[in-house]
Amino acid sequence: GHAGAPNDREMAAGDLVLCDMGGEYYCYASDITVTYPVAGRFDPDQRAVYEAVLAAKDAVEARMRPGVEWVAMHELAERVLVERLLGLGYLSGTVDELVAAEIPALFMPHGLGHLMGIDTHDVGGYPAGAVRATRPGLRSLRMQRDLLEGMVVTVEPGCY
């Protein structure tokens, strides 16, 4: 996973563990992120946020297909997370107001996912001439292009 500091304290009940990991098989990379509670059970708030992230992942996977813009998939994940967090009472306002104010980038500061292949973060996410987005959240995208048949991408929304 991504080593954060400090990361040397003993884990305790109430903590969550996020593991971002992968492996290689015949020079092809894999990537998976999992989150689980140290004590074996989510508390109600942890479960609600976990389910919000899962809903964002499911929404993106349901709409992914060749020809779809990856930026649109990132924005869909942001909207689903905002809708869920609003419904839980963690945010106030409307989805449109919060998205316009770039609030999703505060809890999902990274891009939605990336290409995978020979490398875990494979090349080709920005075709020649592509102008990188500058909006918070979007500026961290590792890919800004339409999806093509045969692409292998990760779908990794988050809420931190």
- Domain residues of the chain, as ranges? 43-140
Question: Is residue 100 exposed (0-12), middle (13-18) or buried (19+ Cβ within 10 Å)?
Answer: exposed
Q: List pLDDT tens digits, range 18-65.
A: 888 999 999 999 998 899 999 999 999 999 999 999 999 999 999 999
Mean pLDDT to the nearest integer, 132-158: 92
In eight-state DSSP terms, residue 115 is: B
Q: List pLDDT tens digits, range 110-131.
A: 999 999 988 888 888 888 888 8
pLDDT above 70 coverage of the chain, percent: 96
CATH topology for 43-140?
Answer: Creatine Amidinohydrolase (3.90.230)
Tokens of 135: 């909006």
Question: Closest Cα to residue 112, out of 80, 152, 141?
Answer: 141
pTM: 0.91
pLDDT of residue 1: 41
